[in-house]
Structure 1
């Protein structure tokens, strides 16, 4: 049976063992503070062993038939489906996800692994003509080698697997460092899945550690050619700079400040429901969440009435309760940061249409109005159940407000005129915009990524295959060149 306790070890070189550090990580339930497990941390030496094991195992993986690789990845997807209830329990306990959130996340993971299972059969190359007589140019798609993956705490199972599965499917070794808040659902659970699926021992390694313990060694290590990071823009900027300095390619999926735009001709009831889902799913701890809801002034008053009623109905509490929509945020620090930014917004002139209470890590929803685009509350990523509602008068103003941010990840536009929505979407500087839908969208074959400070690179489908492989040119001269000297 899969449990957090049974998976609370390092996974290095195909072995489950303690880390070499004297320091320990206490894994706690964010809802009730229960200690779930205690792990011994990994050291710089553990990281070194993990990367070396991954590089060695890649040589074995190279020899595995592409169809066998496909079968192994499909077996991983099947294993997840077989253990869905156990994985659900772990998501609830380790990160405070509701049952609804767990089902959503597991579904995303299964689809991502199934897409990655197609990669071994898509490693095609090309033969191209040459300017030289009797010569041909061959292009081979090959794995980059070893990929380092650093994942966040909010959707740890999916956002780890989003890089791990495609990297393995494309023929690479992987070393995964999950967030210290979610060492199992973001890390060792994934190791167990691929171990059971049958990848070579050492191909995938998981090191549970802290930056205080290892510094930048995970990024600077000479073996990985790519560092794939999902997390905050501040940390991502540092990781990207260190990676580039060490001639590694960074893939950065970072923060967001998405705008959810409601035009005067929108289906208001539908928009209310979509806006609530876009903001409050998983307590608002999703990079694609709608931080700012922009409403045409003609619909503003009625929207506020309906939106307040909808949000007030969302049940806050124990994530084990199937009726709960909003569980705890991940830790006390996150709850405290939310309180500070709400207070700052009110000091700057915002008003609370609905102001939620905070009890421990449980944060009830807050709706802020009288917000101007320049306020900190409208400029920063709100990683919690807090939302700003801002009126606008014209289409041009809505676009300008949406673009008034250093981020550029997702967004949504609601209008009865679909093509009008598409034309507006083209003018908004973000990697993704959804017309008459929610801001939270991720599909296994569609390019995912942000603009500006929301990231670098694209993942999913062909884009993941491109990111985790490189093209090698091998030319063949069947004749002889004529040399000028």
Structure 2
């Protein structure tokens, strides 16, 4: 983690050790280790925010927000564009931290920086988007709606795609005139906390508009319950999301919840098998399967299922797994021992229930081999539950009706992938499966800064991304009327 002696390191541990960000870096009483999962090495200690720190941050954010919202839209847009430029300028350094903190391979880390920069660029355009409409009225007045900032937005981001999943909410919320209090996962608090503070500080964001508070569940609860935070954007597990949603409802505030998934990748009988295997491998093994959209269930027509399973297993066996800092690998480590135990437990239980271990199922340290399970039935553990690891359970089906029923047989409803030579047939099948996103001739892991992102059921609710969804997420609708002269009433 060294830099040229002539080039200052803006993410050096001296910047953030024992500190949180509120426009400047300030010390905290508690700290949390920044651990490299591939080696177990402690890279530093980030400041850990308490509920009291959260209350101070929300008060300062609310004060700063009024001035920020009053700026002309083009000034807010300019700052968002400068943030995108700063992401590119510091891209290599931020990538190194994504690799080290989250166990990402280099290509995935580069993708995070590029997509996060696009989020800022799209948010810059959002600042000048039309934010109201004229309404018909039968009175002698002009009637219209206006979109106004909600005030302070709380953003709680996870460890897996830490930079993207924070920036997806931070950038549009800021562009629309809100202040933001960001709570990154402490396991990725440099690449998705300090890095975001860096780029917006360099972009000229006024002090106090953005706060970065790594913290535990108590900090998250304090952020959700704070009366100065009317909107919370949460990305994480379904269990944690339920708690966030319940607490937000108790305080009568909006929560946008992007939660877990167990997405189906469906291979129809007319699919190109080579292409389908490539899609299936990417959907299940990218970032060791630690993605909410990962292809958690491979539903394959019975005429193709044996060959598909064999080819997917061969591809899994050929993928290199190791330390992404020192090796050219396709998969890095699982984030921590607890998550690895969860993944391996589901694999072993599924094999014990009668599934065939076609590939993988082994690990060394936190490095879990990409795993393929054949002969899986819907109620087996690795099929019925979200694994959040590099595991591909393969289930056979005979008819389109059966495929639709199997794909819909989940409490989750995040993403859907379908491989077929007949696009119309794929679209018709997608209509029968309740999900927030569907991709024909693609796998389940897809994202775009201009598209609304979100799921149904246990995958959460609310959308972030694209003009319409971001306006809905981070503004309030105000009805406004005006008359040329004061209205007269009977008394």
1:315-334 correspondence runs (5 A): 315-321=320-326, 323-334=328-339
With the length of structure 2 as denominator, give the TM-score of the two structures. Answer: 0.95
> Which residue is equivalent to 1:90?
97
The reply to whether residue 137 of structure 1 matches residue 146 of structure 2 is no
Q: Aligned Cα RMSD in Å?
A: 1.4
> Which residue is equivalent to 1:231?
236
Choose which of 148, 156, 166 in structure 1 pairs with 2:172.
166
Alpha-carbon contact 1:2-1:87 (below 8 Å) kept: no
Choose which of 115, 118, 126 in structure 2 pairs with 1:111.
118
Give 1:13 shift.
3.2
SS in 2 for 1:117: helix
Alpha-carbon contact 1:370-1:390 (below 8 Å) kept: yes
Choose which of 390, 393, 396 in structure 2 pairs with 1:388.
393
1:341-377 CA-partner distances (Å, limit 9, x unpaired): 1121122222211133211111111111121112222
Give 1:49 shift.
1.1
Give 1:8 shift.
3.6
Alpha-carbon contact 2:22-2:212 (below 8 Å) kept: no
Give 1:482 shift.
5.4
> Which residue is equivalent to 1:184?
190
1:6-49 CA-partner distances (Å, limit 9, x unpaired): 33454443120122x3x321111000011111133212221011
SS in 2 for 1:36: strand
**Residues of 2 paired with 1:414 and 1:60: CA distance?**
51
Choose which of 96, 107, 125 in structure 2 pairs with 1:100.
107
Give 1:89 shift.
0.6
Choose which of 195, 202, 205 in structure 2 pairs with 1:199.
205
**Residues of 1 paired with 2:471 and 2:183: CA distance?**
21
> Which residue is equivalent to 1:121?
128
> Which residue is equivalent to 2:470?
464
Choose which of 190, 215, 239 in structure 2 pairs with 1:209.
215
**Residues of 2 paired with 1:296 and 1:471: CA distance?**
48
> Which residue is equivalent to 1:17?
26
> Which residue is equivalent to 2:319?
314
Give 1:323 shift.
2.6
Choose which of 441, 465, 485 in structure 2 pairs with 1:436.
441
Choose which of 59, 62, 67 in structure 1 pairs with 2:74.
67
SS in 2 for 1:14: coil
Give 1:62 shift.
2.0
Alpha-carbon contact 1:12-1:49 (below 8 Å) kept: no
Alpha-carbon contact 1:10-1:207 (below 8 Å) kept: no
The reply to whether residue 413 of structure 1 matches residue 421 of structure 2 is no
Alpha-carbon contact 2:20-2:47 (below 8 Å) kept: no
The reply to whether residue 3 of structure 1 matches residue 8 of structure 2 is no
The reply to whether residue 475 of structure 1 matches residue 484 of structure 2 is no
**Residues of 2 paired with 1:305 and 1:343: CA distance?**
20
> Which residue is equivalent to 1:355?
360
Alpha-carbon contact 2:293-2:415 (below 8 Å) kept: yes
Alpha-carbon contact 2:347-2:361 (below 8 Å) kept: no
Give 1:63 shift.
2.6
With the length of structure 1 as denominator, give the TM-score of the two structures. Answer: 0.96
1:238-292 CA-partner distances (Å, limit 9, x unpaired): 1001001101100000000010000111010011111100110001000000011
Alpha-carbon contact 1:9-1:188 (below 8 Å) kept: no
Greater displacement, 62-71 / 159-168: 62-71
Give 1:321 shift.
4.5
Greater displacement, 327-336 / 313-322: 313-322
Choose which of 20, 37, 47 in structure 2 pairs with 1:40.
47
> Which residue is equivalent to 1:285?
290
> Which residue is equivalent to 2:162?
156
1:425-481 CA-partner distances (Å, limit 9, x unpaired): 111111111000121111111111101110111110121122101111121133455
Alpha-carbon contact 2:159-2:185 (below 8 Å) kept: yes
SS in 2 for 1:237: helix
Greater displacement, 431-440 / 7-16: 7-16
The reply to whether residue 81 of structure 1 matches residue 88 of structure 2 is yes
